[in-house]
Structure 1
């Protein structure tokens, strides 16, 4: 166990990529101790990526890339500007609302930061906001991507923990709302203390137009319900409502109705049993192609090819990490690391709340050093048996783990959101880190609430019958 973990940490400290560090340390362990034939090790690595839920990963990544090249991010920004841009600290509030909407499409913090975050930082800088403030609020709001459904980390966690991915998706909605409210309150405090004004004049017609778009989207499920009550089948009712919605969008030329429909289609489709969370990823791709090629006509073949190659590159890196982490996690189990850790934790406390405090501290530290996918793949087999032992719901624990690791994305040495925003804002990593620190406060408060009030996470999936 010391060789396996020690070699991994040493390789990480000298700058070797995470996936390579895990693969090399696993190989060294196999060579020195011969715990399994080469063919068994290869089978374990292949089994790590031979999973139906993992098919969602490339499709959600592809959908996020398509939304970026289709100009949907710009429409989301314009919609958010009309809705909350008139408030004090308006563009910072726009940043948060835009991330909430984009979270329902990409499922990844990195896509949020690199996509709509690029537009938001430039707009805030052009309106006189300190670049540090723009970077900080963008970093904080990007963590909403994997909390609101769909979510790539939830897909990986659900696969590793054998937990319903649909239940995880539903469980993320209320925590996402809590995080959004806390961030907006933080912006209001900063605006009051630093004298930030509104960034667009209050115009009732613009606010009314944005509110109408929200109302149109909210009326879609209501219209489906009414048509079903009139005796139509569910499929026909949805088809009619969707055709009417598309016709209205074309006639009135709404700014963001079709973009706002993305999470409605995904969540509604999974709730009604039309498709699994994995198939929902494909539905997101089809909807993105419809918006870019048919509705907005902003997607070119060259841009489509670039999005495809970007998706292949990102997917390959994710699956490489999953493959290396699978054999690494298996060897941790073989070397009795999970049992040793379990005995150690249970010897410290029998109180599940103390355990959750210790785990939060552990994962906040791990999130600073390990990629999210690698951290989930390694930690779940070790921690989940202890979680079950303490009587903690695995869905609740999945939210806690994901939020911890999202906060880790904002920290050096391996915080990918940190590095992306550093490049976008043309700031040093040190300045970017200092800019992000104040915005960690609402995230930590949200983490505390989600950890110690399980109902925030579990109420919605329980009401929908996804968990008991």
Structure 2
């Protein structure tokens, strides 16, 4: 049954069938042809897969990200980042990374970060003499931080799937997020100096006091959300609702940039995005139930135990596997299908499940910027108005930087779990 389901799913992917439908169809086929279970089980498992309180955070964080974009919060964060790092050569490009780090600490979504920040900074970088292909590649890569720095939707999904504390995952996400963000800014600084880009980045830059005054309330948003989670004021799910209300408060009553028309558009985009993700989660949950019932996790665990003689070889094999998987399978689906399989195996090799969650999410986040299923890459190309083939050559150096960071995160677990001792 498992072989049939995997082959059917891959064939449907290759035929261009939407991911959620492909996973659901392969699962239903497995039930119909290889099990005595009634098809009613498919409907039941589709519903129970999304019947989870932590999963309620997904649509709310998506809505919060869209409200931030439409309400002008993202624009204020951009101006603040330009003030902080925009005074040096290549500073505008560095501000792209910094803004994405700040925006990621609220939106939880890399695609939302790409559209919200890219719509402002890609044209701005082009006006300052940066190649548009470089700007799009940098934006796609920087937005990857949206799924690493908490609150992160993929971290929530991993926590639910692997039965790991979401709060602990959020704490652990800071180290890898800061490492990747810092590495990208250092690389961008020297890369821009090497190519002679960004000599006029200081133009149109606000003074620090004006930038802080303009962005102060926007900057309070991640402080309230993340601080509230870590202080135990509210859960990650409740934090997503707080984020929505705070974004509405700023957009409607403070900045006065959100009217009825804008809110309707935001709700429409958020419903569509949430529905797609939840459909994928439901289908992947059904798929995961069937392969677990067939004993696949236990078989893979036993095989890995025989083939791998240490946790180092296991981590190397898992990194290669997840990097390839991320190129072809949507992140949410990959986490929900693979986390219940791989997390117990990782624990058997002595790998902390929280640390493994960060390894998994960072790996799959790289899949968001690599063809053929790089959703961040496609979003950045759409914002920049460029074909994919023009952006890929500029993307390769950023992928290499992220891969180096991934190796450090994998083999230095303190980067992920070091902060847990303080919470």
- TM-score interval, normalised by the smaller of the two chains: over 0.9
**Is residue 104 from structure 1 mapped to residue 63 from structure 2 by the alignment?**
no
Partner of 1:13: 14
**Is residue 375 from structure 1 mapped to residue 334 from structure 2 by the alignment?**
yes
Partner of 1:62: 63
Q: Which has the larger radius of gyration?
A: 1
* TM-score w.r.t. length of structure 2: 0.97
In the TM superposition, residue 118 of structure 1 has moved relative to its aligned partner by 1.6
Partner of 1:360: 319
The 5-angstrom pairing of residues 30-429 of structure 1 reads: 30-201=31-202, 206-207=207-208, 210=211, 213=212, 254-429=213-388
CA distance in 2, matches of 1:416, 1:390: 32
CA distance in 2, matches of 1:164, 1:343: 26
RMSD: 1.5
CA distance in 1, matches of 2:230, 2:383: 38
Q: What SS class does the counterpart of residue 151 from structure 2 fall into? A: coil
Partner of 2:4: 3
CA distance in 2, matches of 1:133, 1:38: 50
CA distance in 1, matches of 2:205, 2:195: 27
In the TM superposition, residue 86 of structure 1 has moved relative to its aligned partner by 1.1
CA distance in 1, matches of 2:185, 2:240: 29
* TM-score w.r.t. length of structure 1: 0.87
Q: What SS class does the counterpart of residue 147 from structure 2 fall into? A: coil
Q: CA deviation digits over 1:339-393, x for unaligned, max 9?
A: 2221221111131111011101111001011111100011011111101111211
In the TM superposition, residue 209 of structure 1 has moved relative to its aligned partner by 5.1
Tell whether the 8 Å contact from 1:322 to 1:377 is kept in structure 2 after alignment.
Answer: yes
Partner of 1:221: none
Q: What SS class does the counterpart of residue 148 from structure 1 fall into? A: coil
CA distance in 1, matches of 2:203, 2:124: 18
Task: Structure 2: give runs of 5+ residues left out of the alignment.
Answer: none
CA distance in 2, matches of 1:173, 1:378: 25
Q: What SS class does the counterpart of residue 412 from structure 1 fall into? A: coil
In the TM superposition, residue 285 of structure 1 has moved relative to its aligned partner by 0.5
CA distance in 2, matches of 1:448, 1:60: 29
Q: What SS class does the counterpart of residue 237 from structure 2 fall into? A: helix
Partner of 1:242: none
CA distance in 2, matches of 1:34, 1:345: 27
Q: CA deviation digits over 1:7-33, x for unaligned, max 9?
A: 111111111111111111111111111
Q: What SS class does the counterpart of residue 291 from structure 1 fall into? A: helix
Tell whether the 8 Å contact from 2:100 to 2:142 is kept in structure 1 after alignment.
Answer: yes
In the TM superposition, residue 204 of structure 1 has moved relative to its aligned partner by 11
In the TM superposition, residue 144 of structure 1 has moved relative to its aligned partner by 0.8
Tell whether the 8 Å contact from 1:136 to 1:438 is kept in structure 2 after alignment.
Answer: no
CA distance in 1, matches of 2:298, 2:201: 58
In the TM superposition, residue 195 of structure 1 has moved relative to its aligned partner by 1.4
Task: Structure 1: give runs of 5+ residues left out of the alignment.
Answer: 214-253
CA distance in 1, matches of 2:393, 2:36: 46
What is the count of residue pairs matched by the alignment? 422
CA distance in 2, matches of 1:398, 1:22: 23
Q: CA deviation digits over 1:32-54, x for unaligned, max 9?
A: 11242223332222110000000
Q: CA deviation digits over 1:46-69, x for unaligned, max 9?
A: 110000000000100000000001
CA distance in 1, matches of 2:419, 2:172: 6
Larger deviation, residues 150-159 vs 429-438: 429-438
Larger deviation, residues 61-70 vs 41-50: 41-50
In the TM superposition, residue 101 of structure 1 has moved relative to its aligned partner by 1.2
In the TM superposition, residue 202 of structure 1 has moved relative to its aligned partner by 8.2
Partner of 1:243: none
Tell whether the 8 Å contact from 2:128 to 2:198 is kept in structure 1 after alignment.
Answer: no
Tell whether the 8 Å contact from 1:149 to 1:169 is kept in structure 2 after alignment.
Answer: yes
CA distance in 2, matches of 1:128, 1:41: 54
In the TM superposition, residue 430 of structure 1 has moved relative to its aligned partner by 1.8
CA distance in 1, matches of 2:295, 2:7: 15
In the TM superposition, residue 80 of structure 1 has moved relative to its aligned partner by 1.1
Q: What SS class does the counterpart of residue 207 from structure 2 fall into? A: helix
CA distance in 2, matches of 1:51, 1:197: 47
**Is residue 25 from structure 1 mapped to residue 26 from structure 2 by the alignment?**
yes
